[in-house]
Amino acid sequence: MLTFSIRRSSALELSVVLGIIFFLAFVFLCYFYFWVTKAKEMVLQAELRNMRIALNVYKGFNGKYPDDIRELIDREIFWTKFSHEMYKRPYLQHQRLDKDSFPIDPWNRHFVYNASTGKIFSQAKRYKNW
C-alpha cells in the first residue's frame, strides 16, 4: 500500500518552483512582445513605402495626388511593356482594409493622408514621423 506524507517544506518548495515558472513565463512574454512589435514595425515600414510609391505613380499619371487614399485601391493603372502587352492592376494591392475599404496599419488604425501634399503616416503614437 502506498502512502503519501506531506512534509513541512513542501509549501516552500512549491512556492519556489511556482516563482521560477512565473519568472520564466514573464521573460518569455516580454521577449515575445518585443518581437511582435518589431514585426509590426517592419510591416508598417513596408506598407508606408508601398503607399508612397503608389501615390507618386498616381501623381505621375494624373498630375495630382488622389483626393482620397481609397482611390489607390479602387482605380486601376494601365501601362504597356516592351512587347506592347497591356497591363492593368490597382495602384495598391494586398493592402489591409477595414470594413469601409480604408487602409489600416498593423495596429488596426487608419492611415492619415494629406491630399494636398501627398503625405501619409500612421496614427500609432510612436510612428507618426515615419
Mean pLDDT by 10 residues, the chain (130 residues): 62 89 95 94 92 91 90 82 71 86 89 91 82
Give the CA distances from residue 105 to residues 67, 100, 120, in Å, rounded to whole numbers and listed in that order: 20, 14, 11
pLDDT, position 1: 59
Q: What are the CA-CA distances from residue 65 to residues 24, 48, 70, 107, 116 (Å)? A: 51, 16, 12, 26, 7
Distance CA 13, CA 97 (A): 52
- State the amino acid at position 102 in one-letter form: F
Q: Specify the pTM.
A: 0.75
Whether the CB-CB separation of 75 and 81 falls below 8 Å is answered with no
What pLDDT score does 101 carry? Answer: 85
% of the chain with per-residue pLDDT over 70: 88
Q: pLDDT at position 82, please?
A: 67
Distance CA 19, CA 126 (A): 34
Assess contact for 119 and 125: CB atoms under 8 A.
no
Please tell me the predicted confidence (pLDDT) of residue 88.
77
